[in-house]
Amino acid sequence: DTGVSQDPRHKITKRGQNVTFRCDPISEHNRLYWYRQTLGQGPEFLTYFQNEAQLEKSRLLSDRFSAERPKGSFSTLEIQRTEQGDSAMYLCASSSSGARHEQYFGPGTRLTVT
Amino acid sequence: RKEVEQDPGPFNVPEGATVAFNCTYSNSASQSFFWYRQDCRKEPKLLMSVYSSGNEDGRFTAQLNRASQYISLLIRDSKLSDSATYLCVCGDFNKFYFGSGTKLNVKP
């Protein structure tokens, strides 16, 4: 399977703990996006990488959130001092360098903060 | 105001019906437009890109109206398997906005 993969698929953590999620994009895709989705809503943009450069970051992304893509391949999203409001599905998507930016999503990491 | 607005539905239609969804967007600088479908508790899957001249893929037709800032999706001859939530997306190169989705239920 050469699609986008995410790990873990589920994470339960206690409020105040740090969590880190990993995304492996489709191998030839140089663009990578992170989104957050809550029930009944569409995915909400968090951040965008082109290769290893983080080119866009939502103002909704508080300083507790950080993302990296150190070698332009896989990416990590870390949430520090988790809050109950962070409970959501975290989705990663990748796209090629073509003009259309058609994004392909991974299965997501479902985070539950207790 | 949300960047992308969609009627949440649900649209309940019989098999074989034609159904249309509209979506409006607020950023006139948006360059890329898409429709995705999302099944319950699954990730969004790309249905089709939306081109300025309109485009068709089998039973699906997408249209873009830049002057009025809306995009549409028409599904002909609905199948039971078309039941899903349809998400409208627009973006300006580095950032993309999803609507909250329109739920479609196709009944036998």
DSSP class per residue in B36-54: EEE-TTS--EEEEE--TT-
Question: Looking at residue A84, what DSSP letter applies?
Answer: G
Cis peptide before A8 (omega within 30 of 0): yes
d(C-alpha A24, C-alpha A4), whole Å = 6
Cis peptide before A25 (omega within 30 of 0): no
Question: What pLDDT does B1 receive?
Answer: 74
Please name the member of A102, A104, A108 whose beta carbon is closest to the beta carbon of B49. Answer: A102
Question: Mean pLDDT across chain B, nearest whole number?
Answer: 95
Please name the member of B32, B95, B100 whose beta carbon is closest to the beta carbon of A48. Answer: B95
Residues of A in contact with B44 (CB under 8 A): 43, 91, 105
Residues of A in contact with B34 (CB under 8 A): 102-103
Nearest CA in chain A to B92: A101
Please name the member of A44, A101, A107 whose beta carbon is closest to the beta carbon of B93. Answer: A101
Side-chain-side CA neighbours of A6 within 13 Å: the count stands at 26
Mean pLDDT of B91-100: 89
Report CB contact under 8 Å: B98, A40: no
Q: Going along chain A, which residue ranges are E strands?
A: 5-7, 10-13, 19-24, 31-37, 44-50, 53-57, 65-68, 75-79, 88-95, 104-105, 109-113
Integer angstrom CA distances of residue B2 from A44, A84, A91, A97, B92:
11, 24, 20, 28, 15
Nearest CA in chain B to A58: B95
Q: What percent of chain A has pLDDT over 90?
A: 85
Residues 6 or more apart whose Cβ sits within 8 Å of residue B31: B91, B92, B93
Check if the beta carbon of residue A22 is closer than 8 Å to that of residue A74: yes
Question: What pLDDT does A28 receive?
Answer: 86
Q: What percent of chain B has pLDDT over 90?
A: 86
Please provide residue B86's backbone torsions phi and psi, each rounded to the nearest 5 degrees.
Answer: -105, 125
d(C-alpha B77, C-alpha A83), whole Å = 46
Mean pLDDT of B37-65: 95
pLDDT in tens, A47-92: 999 999 999 999 877 889 999 999 889 999 999 999 999 999 999 9
